Amino acid sequence: MNPPLVEPAPAPAGTYTFVVVSNRLPVDYEEAEDGAVTWRTSPGGLVTALEPLMRSSHGAWVGWPGVADRDFEPFENDGISLVPVRLDEADIKDYYEGFSNDTLWPLYHDVIAPPSFHRETWEAYIAVNRRFAAAAAAVAAPGATVWVHDYQLQLVPRMLREARPDLVIGFFNHIPFPPYGIYAQLPWRKQILHGLLGADVIGFQRSADAGNFSQAVRRLYGYPTRGVVIDVPTGENEESRRVIAKHFPISIDSAGYEELARRPDIQARARQIRADLGNPKTLMLGVDRLDYTKGIGHRIKAFGELLADGRLSVEDVTLVQVASPSRERVSTYMALRDEIELAVGRLNGDFSTISHTAISYHHHSYPREEMVAMYLAADVMLVTALRDGMNLVAKEYVAARFDVDGVLVLSEFAGAADELKQAILINPHDIDGTKDAIVRAVEMPKRERSRRMRSLRRKVAENDVAVWSASFLRALTGGAAVPAGIPDDLDLALQSIAGAENLLIALDFDGTLAPHVDHPEDARAIAGSREAVQALLDLPGVRVALVSGRALVSLQHVAQPQSSVLLTGSHGIEVQLDTPEIELNLLSTELEQLDTLARVLESISGEIAGTTIERKPAGLALHTRLATEEDGQKAERQAREQLGDQLPALTVREGKNVLEFSVRSSTKGDAVTKLREYTGADRVFYAGDDVTDEDAFGALRDDDVGLKIGQGATLASHRVRSPHEVTQVLARIAELRSAQTR
Ligand code: GDG
pLDDT in tens, 112-139: 999 999 999 999 999 999 999 999 999 9
Query: Phi/psi class of residue 511: alpha, beta or left (left: φ > 0; alpha: ψ in -120 to 50)?
Result: left
- pLDDT bin (cut points 50, 70, 90) of residue 478 is low
Q: What is the mean pLDDT of residues 559-570?
A: 93
Residues within 6 Å of ligand 1 by CB:
174-175, 250, 287, 289, 322, 324, 365-368, 371, 388-393, 396
What pLDDT score was predicted for residue 479?
Answer: 43
Q: What is the mean pLDDT of residues 263-272?
A: 98
Q: What is the mean pLDDT of residues 480-485?
A: 62
Distance between CA atoms of 691 and 689, rounded to whole angstroms?
7
**Strand pairing class (140-149; 225-226):** unpaired
Which of ligand 1's atoms lies nearest the C-alpha of 396? 33
Q: Whose Cα sits closest to atom 34 in ligand 1?
A: 368
Q: Whose Cα sits closest to atom 3 in ligand 1?
A: 390
What DSSP string runs through 19-48? EEEEEE-SEEEEE-TT--EEEEE---HHHH
Which of ligand 1's atoms lies nearest the C-alpha of 414? 30
What pLDDT score was predicted for residue 7?
Answer: 42
pLDDT over 90 (residue 6): no
Q: Which residues contact 332 (CB under 8 A, 6 or more apart)?
A: 102, 106, 113, 292
- With 0.75 as the threshold, say if the pTM is over it: no
What pLDDT score was predicted for residue 5?
Answer: 45
Q: How far is CA 39 from CA 80, 497, 572, in A?
A: 12, 48, 55
Distance between CA atoms of 226 and 668, rounded to whole angstroms?
9
Residue of 257, 375, 392, 408 with the most ligand 1 atoms within 8 Å of its CB, for mutation: 392
Give the pLDDT confidence of 152-200 residue by residue, as tens digits.
Answer: 999 999 999 999 988 889 999 999 999 999 999 999 999 999 999 999 9
What pLDDT score was predicted for residue 239?
Answer: 67
What is the 392 CA–ligand 1 centroid distance (Å)?
Answer: 6
3-state secondary structure of 256: helix
Nearest of 528, 414, 515 to residue 175 by alpha carbon: 414
The percentage of residues in the chain with a pLDDT greater than 70, rounded to a whole number, is: 95
Query: Phi/psi class of residue 657: alpha, beta or left (left: φ > 0; alpha: ψ in -120 to 50)?
Result: left
Q: What is the mean pLDDT of residues 257-270?
A: 98
**Strand pairing class (229-233; 225-226):** antiparallel
What pLDDT score was predicted for residue 672?
Answer: 95
Instruction: Give the DSSP H/E element, type plus range, for residue 466.
Output: helix 465-476
* Burial of 30 per CB tally in 10 Å (0-12, 13-18, 19+): exposed
Distance between CA atoms of 162 and 6, rounded to whole angstroms?
7
What is the 116 CA–ligand 1 centroid distance (Å)?
Answer: 24
What pLDDT score was predicted for residue 720?
Answer: 87
Q: What is the mean pLDDT of the chain?
A: 91
